[in-house]
């Protein structure tokens, strides 16, 4: 059985990772509670202990009534501890750069005619519901403004969202200290995913060899795009000079994914069932010393999904649509990963999952997939059972306990991003 103590492995600089809070303060607060690496002090500031790094994987807003609080807390931590706090930009964060133009006479071409002439609050609700996957964001912001004593008319809510990305706005400042990719040791962090069409590619069309050079070029391009937004630069045809960033953080037109983007790529199939990259991509990453990729963006049940093949790991840590309210915990060193979280099983029981796993350890079935059912072995429950996970149609998930004896003799293999077979 994997070690169940939250040690930091041999790495001298452990990483505490959280992603996709999406405006829900309870997720950030529960992550920090009794956390050996990150805590909230008496003033509500996020503090990273000496020697540790906190990485936030993106998507700070949209689906809860604390978006401003979350953004300001993460931003303040980054400004106070810049060498220990890394912020990745998610699609829910970047897409708010669309609002100043769309609410001021330049709606998307697909915006219905009646919406184009609608009052700003009506148009903003339509934008959230139909083009940002942020149903309820308008009312969440109104609730946050009311709770903090701000004006709460419908026009005030619109002005608040616009103020987020105007000079001095919290989301504008937040995005300015974010990046698209980050590498530490043998681990690469991006919000969405890495694919053959995105690795080494910068949206300018430039191809860069080596992960480090690519990460640097990608983050430089991101900074240049934000500069174009701040300066309100337009191309000769009148389109925004930052339009490439808007396209990069969105699905490819007509699809639900963007394989050329580290922000909107997914390491999963069409049902969100997680899968490892291709062997060729794993080999390409290994040539740059990358043996682990960590992503958010794609919901993966109540706790992170660790997928493994030989000396490579993929971790999907977005639990935003989980059945439990709090956040799971993910701590990383070069040679091990620690996972802890509460899980609500299909029968309604709450269980705790906890393990520490050495990179390349083949003695346990964690991160392998049952070949007959497509179920992923997520890890050990405190009851002694293993947790099996599978994504189902209509974005439902299956979380089942199974006795260790039930896995004996069954074929296990590396999880691939293909539709699992049904039983």
Query: How far is 53 from 112, CA to CA, in rounded Å?
Result: 46
Spatial separation of the C-alpha atoms in residues 180 and 272, rounded to whole Å? 22
pLDDT at 4: 43
Residues of the chain where predicted confidence (pLDDT) is lower than 70: 1-12, 417-423
**pLDDT given at position 418:** 53
Q: In the numeric block, which tokens belong to residue 186?
A: 């043998």
CA atoms within 13 A on the CB side of 85: 22
Q: pTM of the entire structure?
A: 0.95
Q: What are phi and psi of 251, to 5 degrees?
A: -65, 155
8 A C-beta contact, residue 25 and residue 70: yes
pLDDT at residue 294 in the model: 98
8 A C-beta contact, residue 179 and residue 87: yes
Burial readout 210-235 (b: 16 or more C-beta within 10 A, e: otherwise): ebeebbbbbbebbeebbebbeeeeee
Report d(CA 18, CA 327) in Å as an integer: 8
Dump pLDDT digits (tens) for 350-403: 999 999 999 999 899 999 999 999 999 999 999 999 999 999 988 899 999 999
Tell me which residue of 339, 386, 347 sits closest to 3, measured CA to CA: 339
d(Cα 220, Cα 235) in Å, to the nearest integer? Answer: 20
pLDDT score at 8: 38
CA dihedral 321, 324, 326, 332 (to 10 degrees): -70
pLDDT of residue 13: 73
Q: Taking the alpha carbons of 264, 267, 268, 269 in that order, is the dihedral positive or negative?
A: positive
Please give the pLDDT value at position 416. Answer: 80
According to the model, what pLDDT value does residue 394 have?
86
CA-based angle 324:340:61, to the nearest 5?
A: 50
Give the pLDDT confidence score for residue 79 in this predicted structure. 98
């Amino acid at each position: 059985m994997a070690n169940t103590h939250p040690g930091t492995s041999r790495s001298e600089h452990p990483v505490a990772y959280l992603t996709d809070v999406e405006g829900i303060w309870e997720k950030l607060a529960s992550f920090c509670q009794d956390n050996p690496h990150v805590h909230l002090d008496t003033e509500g500031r996020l503090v990273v202990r000496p020697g540790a790094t906190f990485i936030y994987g993106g998507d700070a807003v949209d689906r809860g009534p604390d978006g401003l609080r979350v953004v300001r807390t993460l931003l303040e931590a980054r400004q106070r501890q810049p060498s220990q706090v890394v912020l990745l930009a998610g699609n829910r964060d970047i897409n708010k750069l669309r609002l100043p133009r769309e609410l001021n006479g330049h709606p998307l071409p697909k915006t219905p005619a009646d919406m184009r002439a609608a009052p700003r609050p009506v148009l903003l609700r339509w934008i959230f519901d139909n083009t940002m996957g942020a149903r309820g964001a308008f009312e969440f912001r109104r609730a946050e403004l009311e709770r903090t004593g701000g004006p709460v008319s419908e026009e005030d809510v619109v002005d608040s969202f616009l103020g987020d990305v105007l000079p001095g706005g919290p989301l504008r400042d937040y995005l300015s200290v974010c990046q698209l990719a980050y590498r530490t040791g043998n681990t690469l962090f991006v919000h969405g995913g890495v694919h053959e069409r995105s690795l080494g590619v910068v949206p300018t069309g430039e191809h860069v060899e080596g992960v480090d050079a690519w990460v640097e070029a990608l983050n430089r391009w991101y900074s240049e795009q934000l500069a174009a937004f701040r300066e309100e630069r337009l191309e000769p045809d009148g389109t925004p000079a930052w339009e490439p960033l808007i396209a990069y953080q969105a699905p490819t037109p007509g699809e639900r994914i963007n394989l050329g983007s580290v922000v909107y790529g997914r390491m999963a199939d069409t049902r969100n069932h997680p899968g490892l990259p291709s062997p060729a991509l794993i080999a390409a990453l290994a040539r740059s010393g990358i043996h682990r990729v960590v992503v958010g963006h794609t919901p993966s049940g109540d706790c992170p999904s660790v997928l493994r093949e030989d000396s490579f790991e993929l971790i999907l840590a977005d639990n935003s649509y989980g059945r439990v309210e709090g956040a799971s915990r993910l701590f990383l060193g070069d040679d091990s990963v620690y996972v802890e979280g509460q899980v609500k099983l299909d029968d309604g029981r709450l269980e705790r999952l906890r393990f520490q796993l050495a990179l390349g350890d083949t003695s346990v079935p964690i991160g392998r997939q049952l070949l007959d059912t497509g179920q992923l072995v997520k890890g050990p429950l405190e009851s002694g059972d293993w947790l099996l996970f599978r994504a189902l149609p209509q974005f439902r998930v299956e979380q089942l306990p199974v006795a260790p004896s039930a896995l004996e003799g069954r074929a296990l293999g590396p999880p691939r991003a293909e539709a699992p077979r049904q039983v």
